[in-house]
Amino acid sequence: MEQFEAYEENNSLSLRGRVFVKIENDILNGKYQPGESLNESKVAGELKVSRTPVREAIRQLELEGLVAYIPNKGAIVKGLSIEDVRDIFEIRMKIEGLAAKRAASNITESQLKELREVVEFEEFYTAKGDTEQILKLDTKFHEIIFRASGSRLLDRTLTSFHHYIQRARSFSLMDAERAKKALLEHMAIMKAIESRDKERAEVLMANHILNASENIGRLKGYAYQEEK
């Protein structure tokens, strides 16, 4: 099924799970805008599935806070507000530094090798200005550190936050200057982790998140739904 090519590698996902992931990504990426109606029949037709997995996925999205059921209107997209994004960045500043600090103590040689390779590829694609690849590598860089922290809760929480703000991250990394600065910040974080400098890794990561947040705030044309 063409719509789910990106998820075929994960055979553990049920049809409902794949539908959920697809709709969730479409909301987070801005295909479905806040206030827009999610018509079960229309979405099912677009995805070439029955209405049942769509209905179940929408119910799950309601639990996630991305969709709301409005009387006489049905399922309405809530998406993420500007305040949601700000909150996520603020929480990340508090705990992603902790993940980097723990990674400096717990990272394995194979994880370090993987981290170095990611940074090398990131340098290559940053020079080419390939935003799509930069975003993928940025995600990979942070996910390695989440895993290397040795904390399942940190890994799960931060991976979820990273996913939720994918649109904001993509928008930010389209700024060539920010992409170059992010690369330099990644290099510095990697070196601190390599040298097992826990305190420096923590500070550099917190500053990295702060810089990303401030850059998004400066970008014109970027907008999530404002809180009312």
Q: How confident is the model at residue 68 (pLDDT cuts 50, 70, 90)?
A: very high
In a domain, 227, yes or no: no
Segment 127-148 mean pLDDT: 96
In a domain, 224, yes or no: no
Rounded to the nearest 5°, which phi and psi values hold at 219?
Answer: -75, 130
pLDDT at position 215, please?
86
The number of folded domains in the chain is 2
Which are the contacts of 181, defined by CB distance < 8 A and separation ≥ 6? 211
Out of 51, 77, 103, a domain closes at: 77
Rounded to the nearest 5°, which phi and psi values hold at 212?
Answer: -65, -45
Residue 167: which domain range? Answer: 82-218
Q: How confident is the model at residue 31 (pLDDT cuts 50, 70, 90)?
A: confident
pLDDT at position 219, please?
55
Radius of gyration of the chain (CA): 19
Check residue 227 and report its DSSP letter.
P
Out of 77, 106, 130, a domain closes at: 77
Indicate if 71 and 88 belong to the same structural domain: no
Segment 34-51 mean pLDDT: 90
Q: Which helix (H) or strand (E) holds 113?
A: helix 109-128
In a domain, 228, yes or no: no
Q: Which of 183, 182, 202, 184 is nearest to 192 (CA)?
A: 202
Out of 77, 109, 144, a domain closes at: 77
Written as one letter, the residue type at 223 is A
pLDDT at position 5, please?
40
